[in-house]
C-alpha cells in the first residue's frame, strides 16, 4: 500500500507546466483575476485541481506567476525601453510597445497589468494589491531612468523625472484601456504620437 502511494506521488506530471502557465496568463489577461474561476482554470489548463495546486500553489500564486510571465513576455517592451540611449527614445519605445502589445492579433486586448483586477471585491484584493505594486514599480524604474537623463544632460535641468514618468505611464495605461474598449492599432499609435509632441526639448 505504502509502495503504491509512493509510486503515485512520484509519478511525473502529465502536462507541460510552461504551456499551462501560458494558458493561465492569457485567461487572466482576457477575463481578469475575479473573472477566472478554478473550474475555468483547470478546464483551460487541462488539469485537475490537485495538479494545479501541486504545480502552482493556489490561485493567487498562479496569478503571480502569470503576471511574471506577462512581464517577461508580452510586456517586456517596458524593460527593453529603459536601455534606449535617450529619454525620448525610452518614452517612444514604451508607448509603441503598449500599442503593439494591447492590440496583438489573436490575443487579448488591453493589458493584464491594468485589467487584471478591475473588480474590487475582497476576493480580488490579492490581485489588486499585486498589480498596484507592479504598476508602481514600473513607474519608479521609469522615473529613475529619466533622472539619469537629467543628470547626463539628455533632459533639461528643470525637467521633472517623476512628472514625466507619471505622464508616460498614464498615457500607456490609457492606451490599454482604450484598446480593451475596441480602438485599433493605428488609432492608438496616433494617440502615442500626440503624447510625444509634448515631450521636453
**Closest C-alpha to 98, from 75, 71, 73:** 75
Q: How far is CA 201 from CA 19, 89, 154, 196, in A?
A: 45, 13, 9, 11
Give the DSSP letter of residue 199: S
Residue 155, pLDDT score: 97
What is the model's pLDDT at position 14? 62
Q: What is the pLDDT of residue 120?
A: 62
Quote the pLDDT of residue 1. 42
Residue 184: how many CB atoms within 10 A of its CB? 12
- Cβ distance 147 to 161 under 8 Å? yes
Distances from the Cα of 5 to the Cα of 8, 52, 57, angstroms: 5, 19, 21
Per-residue pLDDT of the chain (201 residues; tens, 9 = 90+): 444 344 344 444 566 888 999 999 999 999 999 999 999 999 998 888 998 888 898 999 999 999 999 999 999 999 999 999 999 999 999 999 999 999 999 889 999 998 887 766 777 788 889 999 999 999 999 999 999 999 999 999 999 999 999 999 999 999 999 999 999 999 999 999 999 999 988
Taking CA atoms, 162 is separated from 81, 144, 147, in Å, by 17, 8, 8
Amino acid at each position: 500500500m505504502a509502495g503504491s502511494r509512493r509510486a503515485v506521488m512520484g509519478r511525473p506530471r502529465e502536462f507541460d507546466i510552461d504551456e499551462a502557465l501560458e494558458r493561465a496568463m492569457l485567461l487572466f489577461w482576457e477575463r481578469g483575476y475575479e473573472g477566472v474561476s478554478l473550474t475555468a482554470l483547470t478546464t483551460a489548463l487541462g488539469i485537475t485541481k490537485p495538479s494545479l495546486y501541486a504545480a502552482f500553489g493556489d490561485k493567487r500564486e498562479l496569478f503571480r506567476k502569470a503576471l511574471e510571465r506577462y512581464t517577461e513576455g508580452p510586456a517586456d517592451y517596458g524593460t527593453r525601453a529603459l536601455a534606449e540611449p535617450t529619454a525620448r527614445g525610452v518614452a517612444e519605445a514604451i508607448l509603441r510597445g503598449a500599442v503593439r502589445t494591447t492590440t496583438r492579433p489573436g490575443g487579448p486586448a488591453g493589458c493584464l497589468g491594468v485589467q487584471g483586477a478591475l473588480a474590487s471585491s475582497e476576493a480580488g484584493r490579492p490581485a489588486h494589491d499585486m498589480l498596484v505594486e507592479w504598476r508602481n514599480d514600473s513607474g519608479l524604474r521609469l522615473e529613475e531612468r529619466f533622472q539619469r537623463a537629467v543628470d547626463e544632460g539628455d533632459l533639461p535641468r528643470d525637467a521633472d523625472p517623476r512628472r514625466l514618468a507619471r505622464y508616460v505611464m498614464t498615457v500607456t495605461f490609457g492606451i490599454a484601456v482604450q484598446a480593451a474598449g475596441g480602438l485599433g492599432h493605428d488609432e492608438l499609435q496616433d494617440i502615442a504620437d500626440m503624447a510625444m509632441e509634448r515631450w521636453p526639448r
